[in-house]
């Protein structure tokens, strides 16, 4: 099965989006689910990416990714017409969509990608949506227009979003539900806030994965004191029961090694482009 990149766009300095042929995945996918991709059969890493949207007519899925390490950098260098060797999915459980009433969607950085389809779906079934979207700085903010279109109220921040969230929670009536997706530290702060106000909060976790089918346990987190596998039990969880500190430690398990790999890849790219320039 071929997974051709049909189109590709750069959304900010390090964020890209592409439409990729994957008709079966597109057909089966529901909001909240992800795919695992890898760029070749022998030596590539398998990485999870959320399915940000689908086009059933074209048989494509949209991916949005942030260039953080070797694999996402390599992916960013692919062009329309190139193939992604492996795309497997859709994985994970779909978001449980319900009419909650007022829902606050807090998204940070690349977390805005998985948040958007959820916000859209929640809106479509009649929820009032307040979105708090943020990134480290304004240049890194993505999907602003899309969130503006989907939300009844839009708050933009350059912080982790917990402050405006606290304000919303203090108001009467307080929100019925919060969805928070972004860096682990952001989700942790948001959960610290909503816990105080007893507002149920759903988070989507981005642990390191391999198979995505429950087979390795690498994606496990501590939830309510017990081990859960993000790929099959999640990726969404009741944020009030997640041990974020431990999850963050597990996320950085390979940090220094991976930084080296990424540097090596960047060096290699520079050399390749130098050679090309000379020719």
Partner 1 sequence: MTDSERRQLLHDLLQKQENGGLKPRDRYEIPPQDMPEQDPVVRAGNVNEVATGYTETHARIEALRCLGCKNAPCVNGCPVRIRIRDFVVEIAEGRYEQALSIIKENSLLPAVCGRVCPQENQCQLTCTVGKRFKDPTRAVSIGRLERFVADRDGRSESVPAVAAETGKKVAIVGSGPGGIVAAADTRRAGHEVTLFEAFHKPGGVMVYGIPEFRLPKAIVQNEIDTLAKMGVKIVCNFIVGKTRTVQQLLEEDGFDAAYIGVGAGLPNFMGIEGESLVGVYSANEYLTRANLMKAYGYGSCADTPIARSKAVAVVGGGNVAMDAARTALRLGAEKVYLVYRRTEKEMPARIEEVHHAKQEGIEFHILQSPKRILGDQNSQVTGVECLKYELGEPDDSGRRRPVAIEGSEFTIDLDTVIIAIGNKPNPLISQTMPELEITKWGTIVVNEETMATSVPGVFAGGDIVSGAATVILAMGQGRIAAAGINEYLAKKDK
Ligand X SMILES: Cc1cc2nc3c(=O)[nH]c(=O)nc-3n(C[C@H](O)[C@H](O)[C@H](O)COP(=O)(O)OP(=O)(O)OC[C@H]3O[C@@H](n4cnc5c(N)ncnc54)[C@H](O)[C@@H]3O)c2cc1C
Residue nearest to ligand X (CB): 69
Asked if omega into 124 is within 30° of 0 (cis), the reply is no
Please list the alpha-helical segments (H only) found in the chain.
23-28, 70-76, 112-124, 144-150, 162-170, 184-197, 230-233, 244-251, 255-278
For the chain, what is the radius of gyration of the CA atoms? 19
Is residue 237 near ligand FES by the rule CB under 6 A?
Answer: no
Single out the residue of 91, 113, 186, 199 in contact with partner 1 (rule: CB under 8 A). 91
Q: Is 46 in the site for partner 1 (CB under 8 A)?
A: yes
d(CA 240, CA 60): 35
Pairing of strands 128-134, 102-108: parallel
CB of residue 49 to ligand FES, shortest distance in Å: 13
Q: Which residues bind ligand X (CB under 6 A)?
A: 34, 45, 47-50, 64-66, 68-72, 110, 113-114, 206-209, 235, 251-252, 255, 258, 262
Closest CA to 178 of 163, 193, 160: 193
Q: How many residues bind partner 1 (CB under 8 A)?
A: 44
Residue 24 phi, psi (nearest 5):
-70, -40
Alpha helices in 11-68 (DSSP H): 23-28
Q: Which is nearer to ligand FES, 81 or 217 (CB)?
A: 217
Kindly state the smallest distance separating residue 92's Cβ from ligand FES, in Å. 9
Binding of partner 1 by 250 (CB under 8 A): yes
CB of 204 to ligand FES, least distance (A): 14
Residue ranges in 163-222 that form contacts with ligand FES under rule CB under 6 A: 209-212, 214-219
Tell the burial category of 137 from Cβ atoms under 10 Å away from its Cβ (0-12, 13-18, 19+): exposed
Output 257 or 275, the one with its CB closest to partner 1: 257
Query: Where do contacts with ligand FES occur on this chain (CB under 6 A)?
Result: 209-212, 214-219, 229, 231
């Amino acid at each position: 099965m071929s997974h051709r990149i049909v189109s590709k766009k750069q959304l900010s300095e390090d964020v890209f989006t592409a439409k990729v042929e994957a008709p079966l995945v597109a057909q089966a996918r529901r909001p909240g689910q992800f795919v695992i991709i890898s760029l070749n059969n022998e030596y590539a890493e398998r990485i999870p990416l959320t399915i940000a949207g689908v086009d059933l007519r074209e048989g494509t899925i949209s991916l949005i990714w942030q260039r953080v390490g070797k694999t996402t950098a390599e992916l960013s260098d692919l062009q329309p017409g190139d193939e992604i060797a492996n795309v497997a999915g859709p994985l994970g459980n779909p978001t449980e969509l319900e009419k909650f009433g007022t829902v606050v969607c807090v998204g940070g950085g690349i977390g805005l990608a998985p948040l958007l389809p959820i916000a859209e779906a929640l809106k479509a079934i009649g929820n009032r949506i307040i979105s708090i979207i943020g990134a480290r700085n304004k240049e890194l903010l993505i999907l602003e227009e899309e969130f503006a279109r989907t939300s009844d109220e839009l708050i933009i921040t350059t912080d982790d979003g917990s402050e405006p969230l606290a304000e919303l929670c203090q108001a009467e009536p307080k929100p019925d539900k919060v969805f928070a997706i972004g860096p682990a530290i952001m989700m942790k702060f948001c959960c610290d806030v909503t816990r105080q106000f007893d507002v149920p909060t759903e988070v989507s976790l981005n642990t390191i994965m391999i198979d995505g089918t429950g087979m390795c346990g690498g994606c496990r987190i501590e939830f309510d004191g017990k081990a859960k596998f993000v790929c099959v039990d999640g990726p969404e969880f009741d944020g009030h029961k997640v041990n974020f500190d431990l999850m963050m430690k597990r996320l950085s398990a390979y940090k220094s090694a991976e930084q080296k790999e990424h540097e090596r890849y960047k060096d290699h790219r520079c050399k390749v482009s130098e050679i090309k320039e000379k020719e």
